[in-house]
Structure 1
Amino acid sequence: MSEKKNVLKDKSFSFAIRIINLYKYLSTSKNEYVLSKQLLRSGTAVGALIRESQNTESKADFIHKLAVAQKECDESIYWIELLYHTEYLPSTEFESINNEAIEILKIIRSIIITSKNK
């Protein structure tokens, strides 16, 4: 029996890996520790909360977990923007990772809205 594909779970996991690699780059190559640590925390929390939402006991709990994931994703976008505008991130890297975060945020919001309307 094959497991149903979960696009959000896969995207958030890939995003977390990118965030971890970006943190490693920023802390070793740019000696930037404060902003990158904040991004590491919020960027990896997104996927963890999405995973948690898959095992909730109620619809309300499911929506709540995704709402927190939404907040963490939006916070990650803030740190990514700040790193870009303070010249720690080149524009190509910024655009790529920022677009990925925005895509995840849109999916989370869509799932929350759909779940509330059911």
Structure 2
Amino acid sequence: MIEKPYDIKHRCYQFSKEIIGFISTTNYDRIYFSIFDQLLRSATSIGANVVEGKSGSSVKDFKNYYTIALKSANETKYWLCLVRDTISVEKDKIKDLIKEADEISKIIASIVINLQK
């Protein structure tokens, strides 16, 4: 089992790399192009917004970027489930990606909730 980075920024970056690798090795018909395009966009958006939030100028900025990252993580889970249920893909790999997206989503949600206290 690969050890996951502790820092959420690095974990999101690793997840983006895993998604890119998954998409690049998956054979799919043209009809599914937009699903994989949306998956790529939402998955890479998670880390981009976390990085942007960490460099924000205020707590409000930080919270707003993390909220967007959370939305992207939830959207990513949606696209991964759609891929799992409509396209012939390696089931173990997609299961691992969904699990990681869910864990990242929970971490970010926890951060956003703690900022509201």
Q: Does the TM-score normalized on the shorter chain lie above 0.5?
A: yes
Structure-2 separation of matches of 1:51 and 1:116: 20
Structure 2 gap ranges (5+): none
Superposed displacement of residue 6, structure 1: 5.7
Partner of 2:107: 107
Equivalent-residue separation in structure 2 for 1:76 and 1:113 (angstroms)? 20
- Asked if 1:81 corresponds to 2:73, the answer is no
Quote the residue 2:66 is aligned against.
66
1:30 aligns with 2:28: yes
C-alpha deviation, 1:95, in angstroms = 1.2
Equivalent residue runs for 1:42-53 within 5 Å: 42-53=42-53
TM-score of the superposition, structure 1-length normalised? Answer: 0.88
Q: Identity over aligned residues, as a percent?
A: 30
What number of residue pairs does the alignment pair up? 111
Give unmatched runs, 5+ long, in structure 1. Answer: none
Cα distance in 1 for partners of 2:88, 2:34 equals 12
Paired AA for residue 43 in structure 1: A
1:19 aligns with 19
Give 2:56's aligned residue.
56
| CA spacing shift, 1:115–1:73, aligned 2, 3 Å | same
Q: CA deviation at 1:88?
A: 3.3
Amino acid at match of 2:48: A
| 3-state secondary structure, aligned to 1:33 | helix
Q: Secondary structure at the match of 2:99?
A: helix
Matches of 1:86 and 1:17 in 2, distance apart?
23
With normalisation by structure 2, the TM-score equals 0.88
Stretches (4+) displaced over 6 A: none
In structure 2, what is the Cα distance between the partners aligned to 1:58 and 1:34? 35
- Alignment RMSD (CA, Å): 1.4
Q: Partner letter of residue 35 of structure 2?
A: L
Residues 63 and 112 in structure 2, CA contact (< 8 A), matched pair in contact too: yes
Cα deviations by residue, 1:21-75 (Å, 9 ceiling, x for unpaired): 122123xx22442211110000000000000011111111110000000001100
